[in-house]
Structure 1
Amino acid sequence: MRSIGVAVLLWSALGAVSLADNLDKHGVFTPKKIALGSVPSMDGQSYSGGFTLSAGEPLATLDYDYEVAGLPYFVASSVSNGPVEIEVKYAEQFPALSLNYSDGPSQFTTSIANSRRVETHRFTGDEIGATVTSMLSQPGQRWQSLRLLTGDSITFQTVGLQASVEVIDDLTNLPGKFSSSNAKYDEIWTLGVRAVTAACLDAGSQVPSWSSSEENGTFVPGTRPGISYRTWNLTDYVLNFESQIIRGGAGYTIAYDLTGNRDGVQIHLASEYPNDTTFSNINTTLFPANTVTLAYGYDFANATSMTSYILGQYDVPFNVKENVWYPVEIRVNSTAGNIVFSIDGQQVFDIILTEMGFTDEQLSFYGYASRGEGAIGFGGWQDQASYVRNVTATSLSDSSEVLYSNPMTDESVVVPEFGGQSNAYGVCLDGAKRDRYIWLGDFYHTTRIMGVANSKPEQIAGTWEFLFEYQADYGQFPGFAPISYQSP
């Protein structure tokens, strides 16, 4: 068992490693404008560094002027009546800053980027002058807000993003040029260049967030689950593993269609929410303390054109402690659509998916409807973190038949298997915010502007390298391909 202090140190160390990895490569993004008040505002003044959040002006709106991406960092110079908690939102479009989840969650990310667009940070006197980083990088954004949740006030010396894409403030420095007699055409070209430079990444720029050790297995931050490609065809099985919550809760995915990147059954275990680790903005409606929440779809909240369904909430018959290992068992009868969840030897639910009050059309996606068959994965909700270790799957009918096994202690094995490794090649994605996948159709039109913009042939060639690795024997390319998995 690890203490909270060690867990927090690990959390900070992960951010520090990520920060260092890209510092020399790309530099940092800093806001261009700031607006202080009580609600998000586009009416910002020039950003010069330090600013204070207080009861009179509890919210700062930061405008980066164009699409940026990277690992968020914060340096506080003073804290009054701490601990001070700050809720941070990220968004491509300004109106999203007023939404509960901003413009998230994003369901085509992997664990190398944060699918959540809202996160919380806690500052005490110990953090003054230190660089505090997030656990996960944020994909494309222009806007950012910081809202004071607790404490009297906090003064920030600086905030920004450790860039995971190229920093280009002055487009005249690019190899590609465009100038016409029509100012509107020039602006359209500028938008295209910004889109390409934010959506096309250099090799190694997307850094892992998972880490493994002999003692604690694998550290899993609170983002969209990392899915094991080795379990793509699991059916009629008993899944066993050990889970330890560091903060808030832990997420487990089963029945995921990895080949089609579709749906799945989501299971969330909530802790008892102890005061010393629980943030004041925790969503106890979605995840009450000491409960297991069951959902079908990509997540527990809807994303654009992707509906998720909460199937049920179930009380755990004891208080779920943080920093304590619990054995978890999930029995899956894919033939009957039956799922049984137990923790520490005590059954929490026994359900049949087709009897949960939803239609077959609702519990399907583009014609696919899993009843338990498919891949497994691990993740978590906003601000959460956990450990997982000793994962095994055995046949439902024969417990001696081992279908899958991974102690989760070897990072060189775990990270590539669960889609969390750094991108081996330069690559162009569908867009800066939503995806960490290559979409072939979008790549066709992306290449048309690269030659008259950033002119990085290694990003075009790298995209094809990824696609070649997933090309079928008979020649067909996939419609989309991930950038963070071990090559098939």
Structure 2
Amino acid sequence: MASRPEFLPRGLSVSETISSKVNPFQDGSGFTLNSTAPLATLDYGTEVAGIPFFSVSAIEPPENHHDVQIEVRYSEAYSPLAHPLADGPYIFSVSLANGFRVETFNVSSIGSFASPLVQGGQRWQSIRLLSTGEGSPASISFDRVGFQATVDLYDVGDMPATFQCDDEELNAIWGLGAAAAATACVEKGTQPAVWDVDPVMGVLLRSQKPAVWDNGYALANYTMEFDASIERGGVWWTVAMPNGGYEPYLQLRLVGELPETSTFANVNKTLAPPNSILVSHGYDFVNQTTLPSNLIGTFPVSTPVAEKSWHRIKTVLAPTGHLAVSLDGQEVFQISMSDYYTGGSTVSFTGSFGVGAWQDEVAYVRNLAVTDTANGSTLYAHSLNTEDVLAQFGTQRNIESVCLDGPKRDRLVWLGDFYHTARVVGLSTSRFDLARGTLEIMLGTQNEYGVLAINTPMGYEPKTSAPLGSVGGLEDYQLLGASSMYSYIRSTDDREFLRATWPKWQKQLGWLESRINDTDGLVHLSSEFLATGATAPTSSGSCAAVQVLREFAELAEAIEDGAAASRYTTLADGLVKAVQERLWNEKLGIFSAAVNDRGNFSVPATAFCITSGVASAEQANRSIAILQSQLALGVGYKDDTNVDADDPETKISTNTNGFLLDALFRAGKYSTGHELMRSLWGAMVHNPETSSGASWEYILPDGRPGLDRFTSLAHPWGGAPTYVLTEWAAGLQPAPGPAGFGYRNWVASPEAGLAMGLKHAVCRVQTPLGPLTIRWETAEGDAELRVVVEAPVGTSGTFVLGATKRGLVGKDRYDFNVPI
């Protein structure tokens, strides 16, 4: 354990109940849990991630008299620590982390131990001494607890790229995206495999949803058999998981006899009776905020299911719609799925299969065989006792450095969400190696049409994981993913990588070109995240396409591909003309949501029509004005005019509001952007019980997290202020066009920061030639501005403020005053 960097708690409360009122806590101070104060609340102060570890200094009565059981809960916000499942489970994907946010341990002696699985992201932790009946130990003492870090140890105030000003709230808001990127971007090999392989026993499964075979999505009406040895609790398996697992599917769980000697005191035997098989259609056996499950039934097993004994489990999906399960050759049940309520969703017998284990359960599985139910032909067979199964089932250590959607959820490489993350990384952690790894993984999933998977899992090989990444869904994510490549090159000037991957990007843009309709000249996408329900052709889709085409014209110019640059410019010009003719509503002063929805409009459409340059200055002003009057809701802006403003559970997206924030500053609406930043992102820093130190995914109009316990409170897609504050409030940006790539040429302009009322600001960015820093502060009664720029040799810049324009060339330090 000592070889790994560690995250350690900063605050502690020991009491009868959890408490957010913690006292300062120093490493090594230690604490004791006993019958009068059985519960510790630990506050890490900000989002952390890693493998939980514990060092026990004493057990009373002495060790070996009786084992101690402790229950540990993890959560990003404080209040879910009071919930039996904390802020989990996270059974959306096999995420190379514990799928549950509660784990229980038997402690039999003093010394150190660690969890076998990662906890991906949390600020809060609780440890509860469980009562196990007569003879339970009176107390347990810890001298150290924490997390073996699986992400970089970070200090937001000391990152490679920084921002600071005289407004502490804005400094905290800048840090939100930085912390999210620091915990959501993981280095190659840092996320351990979640299955262990034993050459005799097979795969060891613990606290993980079933991981499915990567090549089984076309299979239907099959029979699945495997041997299982339940080490504790039970075993979980799934059949007929659809492409990617983003629709409800069949879940089955065999619960063993739950002997007292090995069963934890907190096991819910009402939810999972001993010697039974549970069947559910959904994502789990319990409901999660956005992932419903319908328990079909609990079927008793006629004979006790002994632990540490091998049992043969057989599941039959019949063409007649019948599901049957047998145990050790004895049929447990056979049911017709049409006889059961499944929440209105149709039960499909098509899709892949896999095995796992529910919370705190442990099982070995081996000799997995899948055959066609009708003719008995073999579809899959493996002993599961060799390491190659890890890649097949997506449970291997992460094979590439990647930026995930969030450290706890979703631990997937979402293509479109990288739009914000790529920019946040460049202006905070500066882990460009992780950004490049993310782009490489994305490109590794490309299909023959040029399309990239939109949500790639970590544990599979990129090419074989493409079906799990919902290729073809949310087609505008292709545009956002392409734009993230531009952001990476804009920061790094990595032309070697650009040249090496250029054929794949051209193939993707060829797909985009195929979506431009010959009749109306607009982009027609089959599914759009940005369009929020509107039917193509939409303003958001076509304006985002213009932005990507303009960006890739610059990339083509950078590598001297004049033909591509000309082609992309011509396509962009044609789209601008079509958007102006068919989607601008002069009467209302908006870019219509869609051609067939002229009266409605949205935040994403407004934002991308501005950031792409489609909107004139007058159109930008008018569309922002009507957006303020009709889409403002609570702390931010609702996505579009169709969203119910009276519903208190309406979610405000930090992603789409981030697009808007950037657009407001580009349009010169500094006051409006400043207000949005304070109201929406300010809500993430004010309440210590909900603040994770990182940017959130969704937020309610009243400022609370937007998906209840399911909300990711460390989501880089919500971190737009991190790059907006650096580029606009401090005022440091690459110069326009390829000449500015890697900040070889740069622009320093504090106009927006002064308009926001700032008296001083400083920022640092990392360039290929070294750090570039600008400091400015008002002087002489706010009549002058003192500016200091420290620049790498080989770069040049321009300072702009109102009518003042000054070239900065040939030095590594510039120190001057200008009138305001």
Please give the TM-score of this superposition, normalised by the length of structure 2.
0.54
1:67 is aligned to 2:47: yes
CA contact 2:95–2:457 (8 Å) conserved in 1? no
**Residue identity in the other structure for 2:232:** R
**Residue identity in the other structure for 2:99:** S
Q: Provide the residue aligned with 1:292 in structure 2.
A: 277
1 CA distance for matches of 2:183 and 2:87? 17
Instruction: Spell out, residue by residue over 1:139-196, the C-alpha distance to the aligned partner (whole angstroms, 9 max, x if none).
Output: 110000001103311001111111111111x333311110123222111011111111
Q: Provide the residue aligned with 2:708 in structure 1.
A: none
Q: 2:325 aligns with which of 329, 341, 346?
A: 341
Q: Provide the residue aligned with 2:13 in structure 1.
A: 35
Q: 1:189 aligns with which of 174, 177, 181?
A: 174
2 CA distance for matches of 1:78 and 1:317? 44
Q: 1:92 aligns with which of 76, 83, 103?
A: 76
CA contact 1:37–1:56 (8 Å) conserved in 2? yes
CA drift at 1:423? 1.3
Q: 2:60 aligns with which of 80, 93, 113?
A: 80
1:351 is aligned to 2:340: no
2 CA distance for matches of 1:171 and 1:373? 47
CA drift at 1:260? 5.0
Q: Provide the residue aligned with 1:425 in structure 2.
A: 400
CA contact 1:353–1:371 (8 Å) conserved in 2? no
Q: Provide the residue aligned with 2:359 in structure 1.
A: 382
1:100-179 matches, cutoff 5 A: 100-110=84-94, 112-124=96-108, 127-129=109-111, 131-150=112-131, 151-168=137-154, 170-179=155-164
CA drift at 1:337? 2.5
Q: Provide the residue aligned with 2:748 in structure 1.
A: none
**Residue identity in the other structure for 2:427:** V
2 CA distance for matches of 1:444 and 1:160? 33
Q: Provide the residue aligned with 1:409 in structure 2.
A: 385
CA contact 1:108–1:437 (8 Å) conserved in 2? no
CA drift at 1:221? 1.0
Largest Rg, 1 or 2: 2
2 CA distance for matches of 1:258 and 1:38? 46
Please give the TM-score of this superposition, normalised by the length of structure 1.
0.90
CA contact 1:296–1:309 (8 Å) conserved in 2? yes
- Higher relative helix content: 2
1:280 is aligned to 2:256: no
RMSD: 1.4
Q: 1:243 aligns with which of 225, 228, 235?
A: 228
Q: Provide the residue aligned with 2:23 in structure 1.
A: 45
- 3-state SS of paired residue (1:279): coil
1 CA distance for matches of 2:79 and 2:125? 11
CA contact 1:238–1:395 (8 Å) conserved in 2? yes
2 CA distance for matches of 1:371 and 1:309? 15
CA drift at 1:436? 2.0
**Residue identity in the other structure for 1:410:** T
CA contact 1:107–1:434 (8 Å) conserved in 2? no
Using the aligned pairs only, state the percent identity: 37
Q: 1:330 aligns with which of 315, 320, 325?
A: 315
CA spacing shift, 1:111–1:467, aligned 2, 3 Å: closer
Instruction: Spell out, residue by residue over 1:23-72, the C-alpha distance to the aligned partner (whole angstroms, 9 max, x if none).
Output: 64x50111011011111111111112310001111100000000001111
CA contact 1:105–1:302 (8 Å) conserved in 2? no
Q: Provide the residue aligned with 1:454 in structure 2.
A: 429
- 3-state SS of paired residue (2:244): coil
- Identify which of structures 1 and 2 has the higher relative contact order when contacts are C-alpha pairs closer than 8 Å and 6+ apart: 1
1 CA distance for matches of 2:367 and 2:407? 35
- Higher relative strand content: 1
CA contact 2:14–2:39 (8 Å) conserved in 1? yes
CA drift at 1:424? 1.5
CA drift at 1:262? 3.2
1 CA distance for matches of 2:5 and 2:84? 31
CA drift at 1:107? 2.3
- 3-state SS of paired residue (2:237): strand
CA contact 2:95–2:458 (8 Å) conserved in 1? no
CA contact 2:95–2:412 (8 Å) conserved in 1? no
Structure 2: stretches of 5+ with no match in the other structure: 132-136, 465-820
2 CA distance for matches of 1:53 and 1:425? 41
Instruction: Spell out, residue by residue over 1:224-273, the C-alpha distance to the aligned partner (whole angstroms, 9 max, x if none).
Output: 21111122222111111111100011101111113354332110101111
CA drift at 1:358? 3.5
CA drift at 1:347? 0.8
CA drift at 1:112? 1.7
1:470 is aligned to 2:445: yes
CA drift at 1:396? 1.1
- 3-state SS of paired residue (1:67): strand
Q: Which moved more, 1:173-182 or 1:380-389?
A: 173-182
CA drift at 1:111? 5.5
CA spacing shift, 1:61–1:358, aligned 2, 3 Å: same
**Residue identity in the other structure for 2:119:** Q
- 3-state SS of paired residue (2:440): helix
1 CA distance for matches of 2:454 and 2:184? 18
- 3-state SS of paired residue (1:97): helix
**Residue identity in the other structure for 1:244:** S
Q: Provide the residue aligned with 2:348 in structure 1.
A: 371
Q: Provide the residue aligned with 2:237 in structure 1.
A: 252
2 CA distance for matches of 1:239 and 1:178? 56
CA drift at 1:479? 1.7
- 3-state SS of paired residue (1:285): coil
Instruction: Spell out, residue by residue over 1:394-449, the C-alpha distance to the aligned partner (whole angstroms, 9 max, x if none).
Output: 111112x11111110111x1111111111121111111111221111211111121
CA drift at 1:483? 1.1
1 CA distance for matches of 2:321 and 2:411? 31
**Residue identity in the other structure for 1:348:** V
CA spacing shift, 1:437–1:111, aligned 2, 3 Å: closer
Structure 1: stretches of 5+ with no match in the other structure: 1-18, 364-368
CA contact 1:249–1:386 (8 Å) conserved in 2? yes
CA drift at 1:370? 4.2
2 CA distance for matches of 1:350 and 1:371? 16
**Residue identity in the other structure for 1:154:** I
- 3-state SS of paired residue (1:188): helix
Aligned length: 452
**Residue identity in the other structure for 1:403:** L
